[in-house]
Chains A and B, each alone.
Chain A
Amino acid sequence: MTVTIAELRKYIGEVRPDWCPGCGDFGVLNALQRALAELKLEPKDVLIVSGIGCSSNLPGFTTTYGFHGIHGRALPVATAAKLANHKLEVIVTVGDGDGYGIGMGHFIHVMRRNPDITMIVMNNQIYGLTTGQASPTSLKGHKTKSTPYGVIDEPVNPIVLAIAGGATYVARGFSGDPAHLAMLIKNGILHKGFALIDVFSPCVTFNKLNTYDWFRQRIYKLEETGHDPRDIDAAFKKAREFGPKIPIGLFYVTEKPTYHELFEVIKEIPLVAQPFPTVEEARKILEEFL
């Protein structure tokens, strides 16, 4: 499906992105806007929550509601905003440092809850905004400002963690292929439950190792291999592939009740639309103290 420029413009904000020319995040922003346009979501009904870092500036370049919070904490903000008003389409846009470094504790626990939110991680395997230190996804041996003799830690594998952690939609895209990425994001938004879309989003300024070319030489699409995303064992196997060949696309998908569906009190009316207790209701509870 294609969208017209006019349809796309509905999601293009008045502030121009301040990313470096060639930054992978442009492709992610573009793909997200395309996905929103294809789904014909009203900007008023979308809340984009981010943290801190180059990629976390993304909400400011759109026309939806946005919350640009602090480093690593987008997921708890997004989870609760969704519970408070589950009519909102809640999307999290963060970087790898934010999502898999400082925010890792939230990442693992939020997946247990399966909130109906879409998390897009612009994974550039480097800390860009702080001018080039190693990130949790930097490869072993990568020489950065903070690891001048090479990274010695093993990189985080977000795809394996997400499948193991309980995410119900686990995908990886490449910002060099915005059409494919837009499809993954669109399906992630449509998916009922927690969707992770890890995106190879190259940092052209500080990561001279994992470049567009580096990825283009390695990536292939799972959709073209007959991979069954409902087969968790196959998904784990594909998730561990990170060498001469690196898969992108949908690794795993399953259905589980979403977090807000498990709260009886918001079965009918969103929390934000519910009335405050009446004096009579409050009196009944007060009398329990007698």
Chain B
Amino acid sequence: MHNSLALRIAGAAGDGIESAGEMVIKLCSRNGLHVFAFRGYQSVIRGGHVWYQIRISNEKLLHFGDMFDILITLNKDAIKEDIPWLKEGGIVIYDPNKFQIREEEKVKKFLEYKIPLQDIARKFSTLSVIQNVVAIGAFTYLINLPIEALDEQIKETFSDKSKEIIDMNLNAARAGYEYAKNNFARLAMSFDYSKKKRLTMSGNHALAFGAYRAGCKFYAAYPMTPASSILHWFAEHAPKGKMIVIQPEDEIAVINMTIGAALAGVRAMCGTSGGGFALMSEAVGLAAMTETPVVIVESQRGGPSTGLPTKTEQADVFQVLGAGQGDFPKVIIAPNSVKDCYYTAIEAFNIAERYQLPVIILLDLYLSERIETLDIEEIELDVKIDRGWIVKEGEIKDYKRYLITESGVSPRALPGTPGYMHVVASDEHDEKGNLVSDVLAGLPSMLKIRNAMMEKRMRKLEYVLKDLPPPKLYGPEQAEITIVSWGSTLYTVREAIEMLKQEGIVANALELKYLYPMHAKEIYEILSKAKRTMIVESNYTSQVGRLIRMFTGINIDNKMLRYDGEPITPLQVFEKAIEVVKK
């Protein structure tokens, strides 16, 4: 396993933990390291207990770390709340003038690196957040990174601030660095630093950037954790990216606006979490019935109802699958890494427009908010854009908006195009778009039209499925156990497979990304040959396990389910797999 180190910075909301975490992330990502970071927080603006865990390495990381090596804590809560996840023999950096760690609180062996953070910070500023900078200075020393790297990062972070503020931070950082140098030994572990910079992106940011790259011109959303940072990114980049971004009155307006923009011919997307998606349900069917291409992002959080608003879960599979009355085609894609979020956004727009239907991108908080580093070359900007069948003036005669075709896809004319005027309707309609739902309902001629239109729409799914790459096995063909993952847990399972290998257990993984339509045949082939099967999901009822059973008839024997709101860790998967193999 590669050489990595995990740092956790903990404190109360309002202590500046997020900014401190971001500074460490950039400090590392701009000096040749890979980073994988994740944040724990609650639905409060001040108080509570928040943490930012940042794992660093010279190699690509797959998880933020089951446990961490160093804890920087600004308050005493962390001693109780975070020490359980500190590695045996790890380091706790804290200010002895603020609190003491009593003997009975030392539930495991660790080193105490006491730094008078507050006293040092006060030399430069009355702002308490300066303590974070002092601590980061000390951390910079411990990981053997030259202080100049931190100087540079501080100048960059505060580039829009006054010289006074920059100097204050530079001095505080140096003081922390010097204090550590004079009092503690550097870590034995070392990294190869370089000037190589990497992208640091969250899943939401990669997805938003991907949508922009795909030509998304319209984004609407109502604020909802964990999807809000997509809205923030779009809002900030709207002028530069030549996009229109709107925050309307509710999610019903959000999706209907998205449909309106798409109807007029622009690529349009909206985003929300489970609660907001519930409000959108009816209009998901509207998009499918009117054959209007839209992309809907649903980033799952802990449910049901308000549930755990700031925690992760993968329990909206059946909600998005079942959303909207009646049978209609839709596509559900669950990207599995930050990089994959970028490509999925582009793919989603291409599928939506090629097949003129709603595409749902199913994320979860763990993927939306985690930060990964990527080499800039990993984000290919020269991508294929497929706008589907949009007819130009004079191109076809006897235009029918809902022409029955083999693939189910009909010519789409944008309002404003001469010669193709038509009405699209949420009612059942004929090829021209004329209603067959009211005066004709039940008449023999209508029954035929109804069947033909229903079959035309549903046929699209067969063609979508042919376009989507079928799932493949990750790892060796023959294995003691085949682990099924989907969406955000792909990397976690891959790391667990690596851990199992060290134990001499051969495991492979079936990694699902396209949940609907589902590659039932291919999944059946793989699972029916597997020696033992186990599914990993962040929900109570194994939703994708049930989906697989629904489409393939295969019952996955073992389940590693977690629903307490925290992401599944490689160690959990590893331990469960061992139990299954040895049973």
Interchain CB contact under 8 A, A277 and B213: yes
Q: Interface segment, B125-133, B193-201, B458-466, B510-518?
A: B193-201
Interchain CB contact under 8 A, B439 and A80: no
Interface code B405-439, partner A: CB below 8 Å = 1, 0 otherwise?
00000000011111111111111000001110011
Residues on A with C-beta less than 8 A from B242 are 265, 274, 277
Nearest Cβ on chain A to B333's Cβ, whole angstroms: 21
Does A87 interact with chain B (Cβ within 8 Å)?
A: yes
A276-B265 Cα distance, complex, nearest whole Å: 13
Q: Interface segment, B16-24, B181-189, B215-223?
A: B215-223
Interface size on A, residues (CB 8 A): 58
Q: Interface segment, B376-384, B481-489, B494-502, B575-583?
A: B376-384
Does A1 interact with chain B (Cβ within 8 Å)?
A: no
Nearest Cβ on chain B to A203's Cβ, whole angstroms: 16
Residues on A with C-beta less than 8 A from B218 are 80, 83-84, 271
* 6 A-B pairs with the lowest CB-CB distances in the bound complex, closest first: A66-B423, A80-B260, A84-B264, A276-B215, A77-B260, A80-B257
Interchain CB contact under 8 A, B220 and A64: no
Does B250 interact with chain A (Cβ within 8 Å)?
A: yes
Interchain CB contact under 8 A, B217 and A274: yes
Interchain CB contact under 8 A, A286 and B381: yes
Q: Interface segment, B64-72, B83-91, B282-290?
A: B282-290
A44-B417 Cα distance, complex, nearest whole Å: 6
Interchain CB contact under 8 A, B266 and A106: no
Q: Interface segment, B102-110, B232-240, B443-451?
A: B232-240
Does B256 interact with chain A (Cβ within 8 Å)?
A: yes
Interchain CB contact under 8 A, B290 and A272: no
Interface code A75-119, partner B: CB below 8 Å = 1, 0 otherwise?
111111111110110000000000000000110110000000000
Of B198, B423, B438, the residue contacting A18 (CB under 8 A) is B438
Measured CB to CB, the residues of B under 8 A from A are 30, 197-201, 205, 209, 212-215, 217-218, 220, 237-244, 246, 248-250, 252-254, 256-266, 268, 282-283, 286, 290, 376, 379, 381-382, 385, 414-427, 433-435, 438-439
Does A213 interact with chain B (Cβ within 8 Å)?
A: no
Of B199, B214, B239, B290, the residue contacting A290 (CB under 8 A) is B199
Nearest Cβ on chain A to B92's Cβ, whole angstroms: 32
Nearest Cβ on chain A to B239's Cβ, whole angstroms: 6
Nearest CB to that of B238 among chain A residues? A265
Residues on A with C-beta less than 8 A from B422 are 65-66
Interchain CB contact under 8 A, B261 and A44: no
Provide the main secondary structure of the chain B interface.
Answer: mixed
A80-B262 Cα distance, complex, nearest whole Å: 9
Interchain CB contact under 8 A, A290 and B256: no
Interchain CB contact under 8 A, B414 and A285: no
Interchain CB contact under 8 A, A277 and B244: no
Of A68, A265, A289, the residue contacting B239 (CB under 8 A) is A265
Does A73 interact with chain B (Cβ within 8 Å)?
A: yes
Interface code A270-290, partner B: CB below 8 Å = 1, 0 otherwise?
011010110100110111011
25 contacts between A and B (CB under 8 A): A44-B417, A47-B264, A49-B260, A65-B415, A65-B421, A65-B423, A68-B424, A68-B427, A68-B435, A73-B283, A76-B253, A76-B257, A84-B261, A85-B415, A88-B415, A105-B250, A106-B249, A106-B252, A265-B242, A266-B244, A271-B244, A276-B385, A279-B381, A285-B237, A289-B201
Interchain CB contact under 8 A, B264 and A272: yes
A282-B241 Cα distance, complex, nearest whole Å: 9
Measured CB to CB, the residues of A under 8 A from B are 14-15, 18, 42-45, 47-49, 52, 57, 59-60, 62-70, 73, 75-85, 87-88, 105-106, 108-109, 263-266, 271-272, 274, 276-277, 279, 282-283, 285-287, 289-290
A202-B182 Cα distance, complex, nearest whole Å: 89
Interchain CB contact under 8 A, B263 and A81: yes
A88-B260 Cα distance, complex, nearest whole Å: 12
Nearest Cβ on chain B to A106's Cβ, whole angstroms: 6
Interchain CB contact under 8 A, B265 and A76: no
Of B217, B286, B379, the residue contacting A84 (CB under 8 A) is B217
Nearest Cβ on chain B to A59's Cβ, whole angstroms: 5
A265-B217 Cα distance, complex, nearest whole Å: 10
A286-B435 Cα distance, complex, nearest whole Å: 47
Interchain CB contact under 8 A, A79 and B257: yes
Interchain CB contact under 8 A, A45 and B416: yes
Residues on A with C-beta less than 8 A from B379 are 286
Beyond known contacts A85-B416, A279-B382: 13 more, CB 8 A cutoff: A15-B434, A44-B418, A60-B423, A65-B421, A66-B423, A67-B424, A73-B252, A73-B256, A80-B257, A84-B260, A84-B265, A264-B239, A272-B264
A172-B333 Cα distance, complex, nearest whole Å: 48
Of A45, A57, A274, A289, the residue contacting B205 (CB under 8 A) is A289
Residues on A with C-beta less than 8 A from B253 are 73, 75-76, 105-106, 109
Nearest Cβ on chain B to A157's Cβ, whole angstroms: 21
Residues on B with C-beta less than 8 A from A67 are 260, 263, 290, 423-424
A87-B417 Cα distance, complex, nearest whole Å: 12
Interchain CB contact under 8 A, A289 and B199: yes
A266-B262 Cα distance, complex, nearest whole Å: 16
Nearest Cβ on chain B to A14's Cβ, whole angstroms: 8
Nearest Cβ on chain B to A19's Cβ, whole angstroms: 10
